[in-house]
Chain A
Amino acid sequence: MSGDPIYTEMIIEYSRNPSNFGKIENPQIHRHDSNPLCGDSIDLYVNVDGTKITDVKFDGKGCAICMACTSVLTEMIQNKTLDEVKNFQKDELLAELGLEHLIKTSPVRIKCALLSLKALKYGIYSYFTEKMNDVKAAGNLKEEAASLY
């Protein structure tokens, strides 16, 4: 199985030792999401200072793809502003792990890869609309999250 297009060393490593794995008590953004068909289930926690992300963690259970992608996502958004993160695209995340091909080759597994990004987009949407009362800032995040895969 050398040269496996999905199960690279990096993905196996992340699945064994996920980054930012844990929980933030009383976070400003918290979103739970799951893939009912395959059983990936994660909670994403984000703290912000004004509009800058100061801390990100996640916990839950998932496959290697889900664990690796969520790990990478939490690494990528650390210390970014919400405005930057808002426009974060799925291709950027997938490219980081060399998983762009999943969009075409595996409509099932792409859900594992993008679950955390979906949770993040929904989470930021709720933060803007519910905590900041700023519907304008929330933009199309909800629709984007819903149509991610």
Chain B
Amino acid sequence: MRPNLWFLVPVLILVSAGVATWQRDRVPTRAEWQTAADAVRARLQPGDGVTWAPYTQGEGRTAFAGLPVFHTRDLATTDLARYDRLWVLGALGYDASRLPPAHTLLEHTDAGNVSVDLVRVGGPKVVGDLYAHLEDALYTRHTPDGATKLCDFWSGRGWHCDLRDPPETTRNCLGQSVGRRLDQRARDPECGLNPWLHVSRDVRLIGDTPRHCLWMHPMAEAAVRLTWNDAPGGDTLSIDFGFSDPMVADNYAKQIRVKPAKLRVLRAGVELQSIPVPAEKGWHHFETTLPSGPAPLAFELTTTATADAHFCFDPTVRVNTRPGSTP
């Protein structure tokens, strides 16, 4: 007897309903994320990093306050050189197995629908981090007429030039309550600081992912330079950089005004490399071998157009072999 294929329709609908239920049931609850985050918090060590996957499972973020959590959309290509150990909180089939083989899984536990993986990070290790030591860097501007200006006002996040008011007045303004700042927003939104032309610790959307990086807006009128006098010695200098996404790609075509820039890297005053910065979406990576021994590093940015050049970068000095690991 030939089977009646019409019976497959209700069966298919029933199966799809079952699949939908299964899909919903494997989504972690907020309590499960909290339990996993607490487990990490209890055993956190200096040098640990934390991340979660998949990135779109945002509910876990409510449990992450105070943890050294970083953003990644793709575990396989994530730069882990800042960390000794990594905690991966995974859900929906994502876990540390998506990391490259250079890293070693130490532990895997489950907290309901969240898995907690502890990984020993392999590969290069950051030994010098300008983002962490911005207070020690010098921000200068160099105009074509030969003048050099040191931007020496520290705002709490970065270095500024061209204050409208005396430094103390500006500091007091920045320390006002949020309500006061809102009240004066129309006439004095930034306490007299230039909101764009400075060098600061920042977080920007670049290459579809938030990046904690150093904001350094180039200027058409002057070369802007960030000098890292205390840069340590290491095997390589690594620089990740880019313009923020809405300025170069994710926007109406008629609103995109950014022009390419150039990033010169100097070591002890000598040009190490000149890196073109394309006016394109992406978190670009540059790496170069460093001569042995510590020496000041400087990063000089130039452009032909100031408008919307929301540049951000993350320079680090790295060693290729981690202490204690086999070369």
Physical interaction between A and B: no
